[in-house]
A and B are shown apart, each in its own frame.
Chain A
Amino acid sequence: MKTPIQFILNGEDVATFVESGSNLLDTLRETVGDLSVKGGCWQGTCGTCTVLVDGVPRLSCVTLAETCAGKSVETTAGLRRGADLHPLQTAFMGRFAAQCGYCTPGMLMAAKALLDRNPNPTRADVVDAICGNICRCTGYEPIIEAVLDAAGGDARRRA
């Protein structure tokens, strides 16, 4: 038996049907078709599938889709505004903060949640924000540098 749900995905209304017990990850990828969200462990440990639900980072693989009804969901597919990249995207490119790229969408969303509520984070804030996201190739230093770059200002000096 499928249940209808509606939510806002990257600013657009989405309406779909989900199996009872479906997680947000599968709903976004398989049903809605947002492939920018990646699955890594499907058990809530690696952070790869991180999306924002009402601005808060959530592991979409262990988030029931039905709990997101009526809420705002943000994914990497919505970071870009037309041709313009989000400052985080530009900074990740400039800092070589991705190799295989598979953890990148989750990293970007974890970082966005931080910058949205704290535009001038310290290095410790950045580390704290991405500490639930596993990267196996790049290493965390370029990623931390990229997030600080995106924040701009004198963030790094205060760190």
Chain B
Amino acid sequence: MLEFRKDIFADERDDNLIEVGQPTARQDILGHVTGTSPYYDDHRFANLLHLKILRSPHAHARIRSIDDSAAARAPGVKRIIRGADVPVNLNTLLSLIQFGKDDEPSLATDVVRYKGEPILGIVATSERAALEAMALVRISYDQLPAVFDVEEALKPNAVSVNAAYPKNTFEYYGKYDHQKLRYGDVDAAFKQAEIVLEDRYQMSPIEHAPTETNGSIAVPDTNGRFIVYTSTQALFFSLDTSAKINAMQSNQLHFIGGTVGGGFGGKVDTLTEPLAILAARLTGAPVRHRLSRHEEMQFGSPRGAERIFVKDGIMKDGRIVARQIRAYFDSGAYTRLSSYAVVKCTAHLPGPYTIPNVHADVFCVFTNRTPATAMRGFGVTAMDFALECHMDKGAVAVGMDPLEFRMLNMYRDGDMKAHRRQAKNCALIECAQVAAEKANWPLRDEFRRMSSRAGGSPERGGVADRTRTPAFAPTAKQAPVPADADHRRAPNVAPPVVPQRIAYERPASAAPARTTLAQQPAPRAVPPPPTAPASSPAGSTHGAPRFSSVFGTRRR
């Protein structure tokens, strides 16, 4: 099933690997098949109490009054927890890395901003007792108008959702309402493009639906410490978040986890631990806070919905000369991790293609929907869906094979990317070639011989070339290269006749701004890349290098 194509990049790779390519057993699989893996809820404690949360039935409402007196007297109830009981009742997850403003309460006190928002906790001797007491709580609300659409939320007179961000957009670097990417001059390029293709893409929220719901058990330990058994995917992140909300020192908390019943990004939000710890502090007893499936679906954050507008300028020979993106991430009522998704998304644009003119505006928007969070490539996955749909449409528009259209535009080593970093260690063309071979997808000869290592240059990615490469010309007469041909050697044997896509060529008078960029010697003289948030997890180690570059055998 697993196959290593050692003919590709053989000179760049160490083949003395011991584990890679060999079957190996998961270190935890014996526990899994014997039912002995210790998930958080597989720990047993005497006198365990149970915390259940009363949640908002409204998407946006002001809380007028809360009467929990009958619930407090209900059988089995040990404690009612209100927002005022939470030591630090405002937090944002990425405050741990100084990114964003505290905007989300653990328990709402005045306003609820999405259906399912926690308002009050009931600690009781059983989940059933807690739920029965919950039915006795009386809350009166003044319903407020709600906004559920990202573009509606950006209109000047829109309802303000999030008190920390009254304009319904996350604030980047303290002043910008969105992330920008600017490279070249898309407006001039669109005028010159032979085809301009626009479309709108809309994603839905997606629930991770792990088979184990989010949950945790907080157990009072000696010396004022608490041991917390948790389903979290991010043990220390959850520990620090819990410590902040409970105004405790990190060393007062001992988190035990690592055995997670499915997460996919849905178990990084620290949804249960802070209140479980607070309940254990207030009662002196071990407390379990386990989400029901219904809560997991409604309160557990989903992958956020995204609305994406893509506009491409394409030449009839298949070169994409401009790409403009406008995208809105629906963060829901609070930030959680969507702010970071937007950074990641913008860093990913314009996709794995060398496009000389790129313009992107990506917004993190607050609406009265369930807050969104991480999920499997969030920020990139939905954008790739939009971009690749658009690539198919582009291929149709120019009458090219969709794979060949992509290959023509793929990054090659040495290309200047829209972020003003040179592409290196590209292997996408080779992946496409192998995929085509496996799928019996016919590629024309010159595409079979195309290489990531040939034809790339800073000029290709944005600095105008003076000589217009001849329009794309099929070379059907050439002998086909055998499927197992050594891809590395191909460019040396016969230089590719496919026009290596070069910069968008335009009359000097057409766009002075573009010419300015074109005249720059590059890459050193090009404008500096946009400053990334220094503490963002995006970090400088972003992107996976090939192993060979880790080992230093890769050419630099």
Contact = CB atoms under 8 A, between A and B. Distances in A.
Contact of B211 (A35, A48, A79, A92): A48
A100 B212 contact: yes
Interface string A36-51: 1111111101101000
B32 A43 contact: no
Interface in B30-77: 30-37, 39, 41-42, 44
B32 A101 contact: yes
B254 to A, nearest CB: 21
Interface stretch (B256-264, B300-308, B379-387): B256-264
Interface string B243-266: 000000000000000011111100
Contacts of A103: 211
Contacts of B44: 33, 35
A136 B210 contact: yes
B395 interface: no
B32 A104 contact: yes
Interface in B264-280: 264
Contacts of B42: 35
A135 B35 contact: no
A129 interface: no
B556 interface: no
A36 B38 CA distance: 10
Contacts of A101: 28-29, 31-33, 37, 259, 261
Interface in B205-256: 208-213
B25 interface: yes
Contacts of B32: 92, 98, 100-101, 104
A136 B31 CA distance: 18
Contact of B26 (A45, A89, A98): A98
Interface in A86-122: 88-89, 92-93, 96, 98-105, 108
A92 B261 contact: no
A96 B293 CA distance: 27
A134 interface: yes
Contacts of B39: 38, 102
Given A35-B42, A92-B29, A135 B211 contact: yes
A134 B293 contact: no
B292 interface: yes
B312 to A, nearest CB: 34
A100 B261 contact: yes
Contacts of A99: 26
A80 interface: yes
A93 B29 contact: yes
Contacts of A96: 26, 29
Interface string B169-196: 0000000000000000000000000000
B34 A79 contact: yes
A77 interface: yes
B35 A43 contact: no
A14 interface: no
B442 to A, nearest CB: 28
A40 B213 CA distance: 7
Contacts of B211: 38, 40, 46, 48, 100, 102-103, 134-136
Contacts of A136: 208-211, 262, 264
Interface string A13-53: 00000000000000000000101111111110110100000
B35 A137 contact: no
A60 interface: no
Interface in B287-303: 292-293
Nearest to B44: A33
B313 to A, nearest CB: 40
* Top 3 closest pairs, chain A to chain B, by CB: A36-B35, A101-B32, A102-B261
Interface of B: 25-26, 28-37, 39, 41-42, 44, 208-213, 259-264, 292-293
14 contacts: A35-B36, A35-B44, A38-B261, A77-B35, A99-B26, A100-B212, A100-B261, A102-B39, A102-B210, A103-B211, A104-B35, A108-B33, A134-B209, A136-B262
Interface of A: 33, 35-43, 45-46, 48, 75-77, 79-80, 85, 88-89, 92-93, 96, 98-105, 108, 134-137
